Amino acid sequence: MIASCGGDPGSSGFQEIERDGVVRALNTGEPPSPVFITEPVLQVGGPEADDPAAFGSISQVAALPDAGFLVVDAQGQGSVRRFDSSGHYVLEIGARGEGPGEFNQPYRVLISGDTVRVWSLIPRRLSVLSLDGTFLRTLCVLRGCSTIKW
């Protein structure tokens, strides 16, 4: 197996070391500077956006296995919205309210297989829904248990 970050053996910043019959590469030079791309890759919403691309307060964006993503709007619509990899709206997961599969202030999501768990600050509970938005169950949280490790 050969792996390299660039450069030829013997060139500046690169040294071959043989130990126990194994040839290793040692980078002795300065590491390259990171490259940051400041151009937008994808934009959803904006100042002129209408529903469902209008957001109040985004608390999380979570990547989906199919390259789509979920946007958690904690205050505006109080919703979790699914978008495809091109940024087109697909559906809303859950709804505003206090019933099963509803939340007034969703805060975080955890994607696990084909389900999404939504932690809602109001009411304080964990709702489990499928990625197509179907409500599955609610997990009650005892009073004072406001921290969940994601």
Residues in the chain: 150
pLDDT of residue 12: 53
Report the candidate in 6, 148, 133, 143 with the shortest Cα–Cα distance to residue 70.
133
Q: One digit per residue, pLDDT tens: the chain, 150 residues?
A: 444 455 454 445 667 888 888 878 777 777 777 888 788 878 887 767 677 777 888 889 999 999 999 999 887 677 899 999 988 899 999 888 888 888 888 999 999 999 999 998 877 888 999 999 999 998 876 654 444 444
Q: According to DSSP H, which parts of 48-95 are helical?
A: none
The residues near 37 (Cβ < 8 Å, ≥ 6 apart) are none
Backbone angles phi, psi at 93, to 5 degrees: -100, 120
pTM over 0.85: no
Could you tell me the domains of the chain?
58-140 (2.40.10.480)
